[in-house]
Amino acid sequence: NSMLSWQRTAFHFQPEKNWMNDPNGPLFYKGWYHFFYQYNPNAAVWGDIVWGHAVSRDLIHWLHLPLAMVADQWYDQNGVWTGSATILPDGKIVMLYTGSTNESVQVQNLAYPADPNDPLLLDWVKYSGNPVLVPPPGIDTKDFRDPTTAWYTSEGKWRISIGSKIGKTGIALIYDTEDFINYKLQPQALHGVPGTGMWECVDFYPVSRTSQNGVDTSATGPEVKHVVKASLDDDRHDYYALGTYNEVTSTWTPDNPEIDVGIGLRYDYGIFYASKTFYDQNKGRRVLWGWIGESDSEVADVKKGWASLQGIPRTVTLDTKTGSNLLQWPVEEVESLRLRSNEFNKVEVKPGSVVPLDLDAATQLDIVAEFELDKKALEKTAESNEEFSCTTSHGARHRNALGPFGLLVLADDSLVEQTPVYFYVQKSNGTLKTFFCTDQSRSSAANDVNKQIYGNFVPVLEGEKFTLRVLVDHSIIESFAQGGRTTISSRVYPTRAIYGSAKLFLFNNAIEADVTASLKIWQMNSAFIRPYPNTR
Ligand code: FRU
């Protein structure tokens, strides 16, 4: 449907058509980044799931390849579901994935490249003895899925985790293996949290405490902290927590039980689910992929013939300044798409005003912005005890002394359509508390789209300005506050703020404070995301 074609993105990964969900088995091999994904080749809705496959030199430009694995065995007849890759010390690739069997039982299967000399890894072989794991006693046959990348133990074994639940407690089961064929269930789960429900797509990895480099999945010791991430089937968000891994008991303990997995921090406060990291040995970094679904209706998806994007891959590191959260940042390669830029220095935005930013176009942008609140207003502002939350407040219209202020993205000239991305600052007990939000309530004149307000608290440390990075790509706005401490991905479907009518504005809805904004804004090139030349 050409009427909706502008909603397609220009530099985000998407298949040419139909439905996509979770990222699967990301890895770097012989000069290529491989990306596999949950794919329905037959429709723009979930179902008939197989593994799509694409390769890239730089995580930005992609070549689509033939399907890597299809549902051709009894043990994956109802779907070739999510899985992860492990690269062994000798360079061999092991792929573990969940199959939904002919009886819809969730089992784990082993696959490997047919030809390790093929850098494109076109053909995959499923192990003849599959399945290698079936649900253990006490685990429901439909609650056993999404094996992680394996990590190595000092005992000389490989260890994996598989998500599950017992009653309403989400858990990460642990298995040890020497050959990826025979497995031993460990007596204790890696971790579990009551009330969080089924844990999908568990991820477990170390982050360095001392550097911004990534570390291999098997790294342990005092130099690292360990992250546990679970995708909560019940509320469709990805939650993580930082903690300490005990290799001997194969268990993990959160640093702070109040911000445990599923009850504390999220990777992203918008739409972002079923994510997975991999250690990129090419650049020595850990890279996070996340599935960003649609927030229009299923009817609209079927009409346009496709559904879902992948977020721009993000590097993940420990925030050594706070010590209590991760930092997520778009991989540096996305900057290769930057074209001409506009700079705006120290623009004054008075209380209650909107300032247009003069750009040639505003549908493909990389925005770097910093904001300052005027010091006098900060000093004289009275303390407030207001209970604020992005999601339950009245969005960017809700004014207090010190905010909200930020950007109006994908806005039309009349501001009938606009998606504010903003900070909201409160003064209480002599200190400032900052929230970072995206308000979709006026994002589209259409009715069949999600109009929620997203966001959460963001740490702003002494002496820091309010900083923002925003990637805009037609129907997606990915926002990173304070260097990636809090992120929000939003899908928006304007009807007027499209093509040349899409504009960008600064706004300040604070009652008392002047805001000074400095920005650098790049027009973004489109990425090459090419179909497979069908010559085989
Ligand atoms: C998460 C998920 C996984 C499953 C896959 C099926 O979105 O439900 O748990 O393996 O998608 O497509």
- pLDDT tens for 474-507 read 999 999 999 999 999 999 999 999 999 999 999 9
**Res 2 pLDDT > 70:** no
- pLDDT tens for 367-389 read 999 999 999 988 888 888 888 99
**Res 216 pLDDT > 60:** yes
Mean pLDDT rounded to a whole number for the chain: 96
Ligand 1 pocket residues where CB is under 6 Å: 21-22, 38, 49, 81-82, 98, 145-146, 200-201, 274
Verify whether residue 143 is a known catalytic residue.
Answer: no
- Cα-Cα end-to-end distance for the chain: 30
Atom of ligand 1 nearest to the CA of 98: 10
Q: Which DSSP string corresponds to 290-350?
A: EEE---S-HHHHHHHTEE-EEPPPEEEEE-TTTSSSEEEEE-GGGGGGEEEEEEEEEEEE-
**Res 138 pLDDT > 80:** yes
Question: For residue 431, what pLDDT band results from cuts at 50, 70 and 90?
Answer: confident
Atom of ligand 1 nearest to the CA of 82: 10
CA of 229 to the centre of ligand 1 (A): 15
Atom of ligand 1 nearest to the CA of 231: 1
Question: For residue 185, what pLDDT band results from cuts at 50, 70 and 90?
Answer: very high
Instruction: Write b or e for each residue in 5-21: b if 16 or more Cβ atoms lie within 10 A of its Cβ, otherwise e.
Output: eebbbebbbbbeebbbb
Interatomic CA distance for residues 409 and 442, integer angstroms: 11
Question: For residue 1, what pLDDT band results from cuts at 50, 70 and 90?
Answer: very low
Task: Give the pLDDT confidence score for residue 4 in this predicted structure.
Answer: 63
Distance of CA 43 to CAs 10, 13, 46, 48, Å? 22, 18, 8, 9
Q: For the residues 120-144, what does the mean pLDDT come to?
A: 98
| In contact, 481 and 268? CB cutoff 8 Å | no
Task: Give the pLDDT confidence score for residue 218 in this predicted structure.
Answer: 97
CA of 366 to the centre of ligand 1 (A): 31
Task: Give the pLDDT confidence score for residue 3 in this predicted structure.
Answer: 53
Task: Give the pLDDT confidence score for residue 534 in this predicted structure.
Answer: 75
179 Cβ neighbours under 8 A, 6+ residues apart: none
CA of 81 to the centre of ligand 1 (A): 6
Interatomic CA distance for residues 273 and 294, integer angstroms: 12
